[in-house]
């Protein structure tokens, strides 16, 4: 009996997954190829398909099927049980929100987004303020619909990092913030780290692109099951396990920007290319959280791509693509250029030492807004005070302050913490990797990333949503996720006497 129902569930969810893939493909095209005048029609197409996807997921038939299969739960094998309970989770989250609320939220989202674009251009928070007030109000109601035990922020967090709580984040970040501030202050006291003169020249785009392709191939990214294009903001998307695409962007005055971006998105893409083929079109072919997804991108970008052994391999490669520009370059100089530390106003430009501080101040502000401790009107003052406190900088205007990120205009609160968690998970997993693969750094020096990828496939990728992020980290490392490994990594890399500085 459950066999027939499981087949039915797979078929129904498969239809939903197909529509979601079509949405992803239209969105990819919107960022990569679509001419500007196509925007209005594309918006309608995406809205229609999103409505269709929602109806397929929340249909009465789907509900009845999940109810029956949920009751049969104990009689199912582990894979089928995971399939049923993960699908049930998505179904439940989707049906907790009344349709009228979902529509209203989408309408306010697009108004808020447009207002944010204008406000950021004018660097005037007052233009965005009423929209953000509406968003915060709607987010509180959303939390009420989903339900929560301790704080409404927990209910929002569950969209991005299931299993994580506000209380636990306060503990983790509470330990991280003072130690990172201390490290940044120590580095600042040792004098400014300037951009090296050799970097400031023309690095032609075709050679940059060829370099990113060589590095992606070496990482194990399968170009037969993906491709790389250009877009304003780099991202990874997939339309199935065998079509995982990434984008990058090129800065003609800096070859590292595209390379690090490609390695970052490549890390995301290797994760998605690593889901088991039999999970195709099912809820299991997904990461269990954004934090664990981000751990994969940051591991490749930072722990590998910003390491000295990597540059022992990559410097000759860079020289092959840029025989004139990089003739005199050596691995140590490349390593130093990629690991300069300087507090800055903009999160997406932040280095490894300061990045989490940008996230933590956003987390503190979001929790205060959602819990009603902070009024939207006071946001710029609080923001600027925290930037001064955490990074020692004065915020000159709202555009470089509280208006810099797109997230709040989309009503995405609970998202930012996943970036910092990605750093922490990556460092914790990596300590284990170095222990499990004693020859890792020698392999990296030779451009051999296969053993590293095999480890990630085994301990992270193949599980899809069978395990929560916390379980993946715990099972792989024997410890609950915490800040210790990341702090050890920062101290080792940036604390004390920095190599060659």
Per-position DSSP letters for 385-437, written without gaps between them: HHHHHHH-----SSTTTTTS-SGGGGT--S-THHHHHHHHHHHHHHHHHHHH-
> Residue 82 in contact with residue 466, Cβ under 8 Å?
yes
Task: Identify which of residues 383 and 416 has a Cβ nearer to Zn ion in the complex.
Answer: 416
Q: For residues 146 and 154, give the distance between their C-alpha atoms in angstroms, rounded to a whole number.
A: 10
Out of 161, 171, 209, 265, the active site residue is 265
Least distance between Zn ion and beta carbon 248 (Å)? 12
Q: How open is the CA angle 211-217-218, to the nearest 5 degrees?
A: 90
The smaller minimum CB distance to Zn ion, of residues 228 and 297, is found at: 297
Task: Output the residue with the shortest Cβ distance to Zn ion.
Answer: 297
Nearer to Zn ion among residue 152 and residue 422 (C-beta): 422
Cβ proximity to Zn ion, 87 vs 418, nearer residue: 418
In this complex, which beta carbon is closest to Zn ion, that of residue 264 or of residue 463?
A: 264
Q: State both tokens at 434.
A: 């170095």
In 3-state terms the chain splits into helix, strand, coil percentages (rounded to 5) of: 70, 5, 30
In whole angstroms, the minimum distance from the beta carbon of 189 to Zn ion comes to: 32
Distance in Å, CB of 162 to Zn ion, minimum: 18
Cβ burial, residue 24 (10 Å; 0-12/13-18/19+): middle
Distance in angstroms (rounded) separating the CA atoms of residues 20 and 46: 10
For residues 374 and 395, give the distance between their C-alpha atoms in angstroms, rounded to a whole number. Answer: 20
Residues that bind Zn ion (CB under 5 A): 297
Within its chain, how far is the Cα of 237 from the centroid? 12
In sign, the C-alpha dihedral spanning 404, 410, 411, 413 is negative
Q: What is the 3-state secondary structure (H, E, C) of 345-380?
A: CCHHHCCCCCHHHHHHHHHHHHHHHHCCCCCHHHHH
Residue of 496, 418, 482, 430 whose CA lies nearest to 182: 496
Q: How far is the CB of 388 from Zn ion (least distance, A)?
A: 28
Q: Compare residues 401 and 422 and give the one whose CB is closer to Zn ion.
A: 422
Strands 236-238, 244-248: parallel, antiparallel or unpaired by DSSP? antiparallel
Indicate if 265 belongs to the active site: yes
Shortest CB 215 distance to Zn ion, Å: 17
User: What DSSP string runs through 438-451?
Assistant: TTHHHHHHTT--HH
Tally helices (H) and strands (E) across the chain: 20, 3
Query: Taking Cα atoms as reference points, which of 169, 173, 437, 369 lies closest to residue 289?
Result: 169
Distance in Å, CB of 354 to Zn ion, minimum:
17
- Minimum CB separation from Zn ion for residue 267, in Å? 8
CB of 199 to Zn ion, least distance (A): 24
* C-beta of 297 vs 315, nearer to Zn ion: 297
Cβ distance to Zn ion smaller for residue 236 or 428: 236
Which among 250, 275, 274, 253 has a CA at the least distance from the CA of 261?
Answer: 250
What's the rounded Cα separation, in Å, for the pair 394 and 391?
A: 9
> What's the token pair of residue 375?
């009024």
Q: Which two tokens stand for residue 394?
A: 């004065």
Q: Which is nearer to Zn ion, 299 or 391 (CB)?
A: 299
CB of 297 to Zn ion, least distance (A): 4
Separation between Cα atoms, residue 164 and residue 421, nearest integer Å: 10
Q: What does the DSSP 8-state code read for residue 301?
A: I
Residues annotated as catalytic (active site), given as ranges: 265
């Amino acid at each position: 009996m459950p066999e027939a129902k499981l087949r039915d569930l797979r078929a129904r969810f498969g239809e939903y997954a197909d529509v979601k893939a079509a949405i992803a493909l239209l969105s990819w095209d919107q960022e990569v190829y679509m001419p500007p005048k196509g925007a209005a029609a594309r918006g309608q197409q995406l809205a229609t398909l999103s409505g269709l996807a929602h109806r397929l997921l929340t249909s009465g038939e789907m509900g009845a099927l999940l109810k029956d299969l949920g009751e049969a739960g104990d009689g199912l094998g582990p894979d089928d049980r995971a399939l049923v309970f993960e699908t049930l989770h998505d179904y439940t989250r989707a049906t907790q929100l009344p349709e009228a609320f979902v529509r209203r939220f989408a309408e306010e989202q697009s108004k808020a987004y447009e207002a944010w674009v204008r406000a950021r251009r004018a660097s005037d928070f007052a233009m965005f303020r009423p929209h953000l007030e509406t968003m915060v109000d709607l987010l509180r109601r959303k939390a009420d619909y989903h339900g929560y035990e301790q704080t409404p922020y927990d209910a929002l967090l569950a969209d991005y990092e299931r299993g994580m709580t506000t209380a636990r984040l306060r503990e983790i970040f509470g330990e991280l913030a003072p130690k990172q501030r201390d490290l940044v202050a120590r580095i600042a006291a040792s004098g400014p780290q300037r951009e090296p003169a050799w970097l400031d020249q023309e690095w032609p785009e075709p050679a940059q692109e060829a370099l990113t392709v060589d590095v992606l191939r070496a990482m194990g990214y399968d170009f037969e099951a993906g491709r790389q294009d250009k877009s304003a903001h780099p991202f990874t998307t997939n339309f199935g396990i065998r079509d995982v695409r990434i984008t990058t962007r090129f800065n003609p005055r800096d070859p590292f920007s595209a390379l690090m971006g490609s390695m970052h998105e490549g890390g995301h893409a290797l994760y998605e290319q690593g889901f088991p083929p039999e999970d195709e079109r099912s809820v299991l072919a997904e990461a269990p959280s954004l934090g664990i997804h981000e751990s994969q991108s940051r591991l490749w970008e930072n722990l590998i791509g910003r390491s000295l052994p990597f540059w022992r391999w990559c410097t000759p490669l860079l020289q092959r693509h840029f025989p004139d520009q990089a003739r005199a370059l050596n691995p140590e100089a490349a390593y130093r250029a990629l690991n300069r530390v300087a507090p800055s106003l903009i999160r997406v430009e932040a280095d490894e030492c300061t990045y989490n501080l940008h996230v933590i101040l956003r987390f503190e502000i979001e929790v205060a807004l959602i819990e009603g401790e902070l009024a939207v009107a006071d946001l710029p003052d609080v923001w600027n005070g925290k930037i001064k406190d955490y990074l020692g900088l004065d915020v000159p205007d709202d555009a470089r302050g509280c208006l810099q990120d797109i997230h709040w205009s989309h009503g995405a609160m609970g998202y930012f913490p996943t970036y910092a968690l990605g750093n922490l998970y990556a460092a914790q997993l990596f300590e284990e990797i170095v222990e499990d693969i004693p020859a890792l750094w020698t392999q990296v020096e030779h451009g051999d990333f296969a053993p590293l990828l095999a480890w990630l496939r085994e301990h992270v990728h193949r599980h899809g949503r069978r395990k929560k992020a916390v379980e993946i980290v715990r099972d792989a490392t024997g410890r609950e996720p915490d800040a210790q490994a990341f702090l050890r990594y920062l101290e080792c890399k940036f604390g004390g006497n920095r190599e060659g500085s």
